[in-house]
Amino acid sequence: MLSRPRRNRKSQVIRDMVQENHLRASDLIFPLFIIDGQNKKTEVSSMPGIYRYSIDLLLKEVESCMNLGLKTFDLFPNIEESKKDKFATESLNKDGIYLKAIREVKKYFPESCVITDVAMDPYSSDGHDGLVENGEILNDETLDILAEMSLAHAEAGADIIAPSDMMDGRVGYIREALDSQGFTNTSIMSYTAKYASAFYGPFRDALESAPKFGDKKTYQMNPANQREALIEGAFDVEEGADFLMVKPALAYLDVIKLLKDNFDLPIAAYNVSGEYAMIKAAVQKGWLEESRTITEVLMGMKRAGADVILTYHAKEVLEKGWI
């Protein structure tokens, strides 16, 4: 035997030397949930350790993340049912919690990077990402609403706009709207390959945003499809996206790899709420070892080709020194 691969595994120093992939604070994006009120922090029951924060406490949470070197945040609002309507009007309310949160985070932490979510579902009385008419999700009519929302986010100071709605043509439409108002430097992270997944359940608990009827299969992708992600990717590149995202991550590592191999833009992977819940539940039962499981899962996403990972584990892995 001339070749013995075990020689490169014989000590920690050598294992570290030949390690191919690494996890760093700058690879991670922390999703944060916002709720109305003051001095309020409510745990998401299906996501132990993850909270909805009122803006005052959100700022404290951002500060403690910044001190850990975690500087990129993706904000999501929990909107009171009474403020929801068909047109997601509350999303444009300058005094509403979302636009206010963007302004405040950027005011107190100008060196942070704020990503904002563009889609109608948190504000929609239908609980869908687009405008609903007679049970149908309208594509082109939704684009105007998404563009207005994006402009409001950019005006409030968002660094990156992330459309998660899966309407056709929205990246180009939003890009043109931003550019026409002078926001040429506001980036777009497109949810390029977003699947109609069962793994979003806990997120919909967090926002209380589950669809009121039907499902999201006419706009989110079929979990059985891989090549279709190339069609979406090509459009997003052409329409001016700055990042391409795959969501969820764990059951879609092949799609992460596919986009990485076919496009030169940075690839983001969204390690979604259900993936987080799954690990936390098994850890609570004593069935999985927490730190090793979490770092292995995140490393798998990097190995597949993710440049950045949106993950609810972002803070704990840094706080606990797991990476």
User: Of the two residues 216 and 302, which places its CB atom closer to ligand PBG in the complex?
Assistant: 216
Looking at residue 247, its amino acid is K
* Minimum distance of ligand PBG from residue 71's CB (angstroms): 20
Q: How far is the CB of 177 from ligand PBG (least distance, A)?
A: 19
- Which DSSP string corresponds to 147-194? HHHHHHHHHHT-SEEEE-S--TTHHHHHHHHHHHTT-TT-EEEEEEEE
CA 159 from chain centre, in angstroms, equals 14
Shortest distance in whole angstroms from residue 147 CB to ligand PBG? 16
Question: CA 291 to CA 296: how far, in whole Å?
Answer: 8
Question: Could you tell me where the beta strands, DSSP code E, fall in the chain?
Answer: 28-35, 41-43, 51-53, 72-78, 113-118, 131-133, 136-138, 160-163, 187-194, 243-247, 267-271, 308-311
Would strands 243-247 and 187-194 be described as parallel, antiparallel, or unpaired?
Answer: parallel
Length of the chain, please? 323
**Strands, E assignment, 201-254:** 243-247
Compare residues 181 and 196 and give the one whose CB is closer to ligand PBG: 196
Query: Minimum Å distance from CB 34 to ligand PBG?
Result: 14
Q: Taking the complex as a whole, how short is the minimal distance between the CB of residue 40 and ligand PBG, in angstroms? A: 21
Name residue 220's beta-bridge partners: none
Element (H, E) at 195: none
Q: Which is nearer to ligand PBG, 27 or 117 (CB)?
A: 117
Residues that bind ligand PBG (CB under 6 A): 117, 119, 121, 129, 164-165, 200, 203-204, 216, 272-273
User: Contact 199/273 with Cβ under 8 angstroms?
Assistant: yes
Binding residue ranges for Mg(2+): 232
- 119 Cβ neighbours under 8 A, 6+ residues apart: 129, 146, 163, 164, 165
Helix H or strand E encompassing 60: helix 55-67
At how many degrees (to 10) do helices 228-238 and 170-180 cross? Answer: 10
Nearer to ligand PBG by C-beta: 198 or 231?
198
Nearer to ligand PBG, 175 or 313 (CB): 313
Question: Whose Cβ is closer to ligand PBG: residue 72's or residue 164's?
Answer: 164
Measured from each CB, the residue nearest to ligand PBG is 203
Shortest distance (Å) from residue 132 CB to ligand PBG: 14
Residues with active-site annotation: 194, 247
Q: Pull the structure tokens for residue 202.
A: 């806990």
Any idea which residue has 């001190």 for tokens?
A: 67
Sign, Cα dihedral of 172, 121, 281, 24? positive
CB-CB contact of 74 with 115 (8 Å)? yes
